[in-house]
Amino acid sequence: MKQVQIPTVSSAQGVQIPAIGFGTSQLGDCSEIVAKALELGYRHIDTAWKYGSEKGVGAGLRASGVPREQIFLTTKVSHEYLRADDFARSVDESLRNLQVDYVDLLHVHWPTIDNIPLAETMAALAKAKREGKTRHIGVANFNIALVEEAMRLSPEPLVTLQAEYHPYLDQSKVLAGCRRLGLVFTAYCPLARGRLFNDAVIGEIARKKEKTIAQIALRWLMQQGNVAAIPRSANPRHMAESLQVFDFDLTGDEMSRISALKRPDGRIANPKGRAPAWD
């Protein structure tokens, strides 16, 4: 299959993030899968200390032979390590796991628990950037009020908010907040972990367009402008398919029909004691 040129999504600061990335949670030792993803054309890889996939990602990057500078690599510091000293140790461990000198994007994975001041965590995140351990910084799973507080407290600009987003979850407030703040909205669980695959409306649109349900769901995200998505797959056919979402358009009516699928119980990732009051 022909390699796809993946477009980028830009933050207000002009930071370019490949619009489709490759998610690596729940993949375990994923070195072969990551090397395959890179062979297929993925250039944005999403991992986290918490996933236990960093070593596999690092081995996959090396095995692929793709030059480091062509890859947009993201990792995240877990909520247990948001004190300054713990944070710095966690970043160093992630770099060792990944066998790289720097990542392209470093996230706070979930907002703080245990009353750790957000100012301390944001200073630690900015310090990692100033020390050259990450090129850019962002936050994940923050509500918009927390993002604004993080931006006020951070000595360095944020480029993205990573949060759950798919047709079953209404994220209109978060999307509007990201646009207002100049952030890329990086959509995780973009395929609702498979829950979309029997959807009648998306299925009908997919048949009409001769695309799959996954491609329609990803295209719906892509057409929102400032959204990137990071689907995860262990199946090379699915991995390739998720990159083929830039050769067709959804009409305004199709976009609206998919947006109308939002459900009150659509959220998947909602860990007790860690999740903020969602927007």
Interface residue list for ligand NAP (CB under 6 A): 23-25, 46, 109, 140-141, 162, 188-194, 212, 214, 230-235, 238, 241-242, 269
Tokens 């910084």: give the residue: 137
Nearer to ligand NAP, 157 or 276 (CB): 276
Q: Least distance from C-beta 230 to ligand NAP, angstroms?
A: 5
Q: Which of 42, 51, 81, 165 is catalytic?
A: 51
HSE (CB half, 13 Å, CA atoms) of 269? 21
Nearer to ligand NAP, 24 or 64 (CB): 24
Q: Least distance from C-beta 96 to ligand NAP, angstroms?
A: 20
Contact between 143 and 176 (Cβ < 8 Å): no
Q: Least distance from C-beta 24 to ligand NAP, angstroms?
A: 5
As a 3-state breakdown, the chain gives helix, strand, coil percent values, each rounded to 5, of: 45, 15, 40
Pairwise CA distance, residues 190 & 264, whole Å: 17
Residue nearest to ligand NAP (CB): 23
Q: Is 165 tagged catalytic?
A: no
Dihedrals phi, psi of 5, to nearest 5 degrees? -85, 115
Nearer to ligand NAP, 40 or 84 (CB): 40
Contact between 205 and 257 (Cβ < 8 Å): yes
Spell out the residues 6+ positions from residue 140 whose beta carbon is closer than 8 angstroms to its own.
76, 107, 108, 109, 110, 161, 162, 163, 186, 188
Q: Least distance from C-beta 137 to ligand NAP, angstroms?
A: 14
Nearer to ligand NAP, 241 or 254 (CB): 241
Q: Which amino acids are annotated catalytic?
A: 51
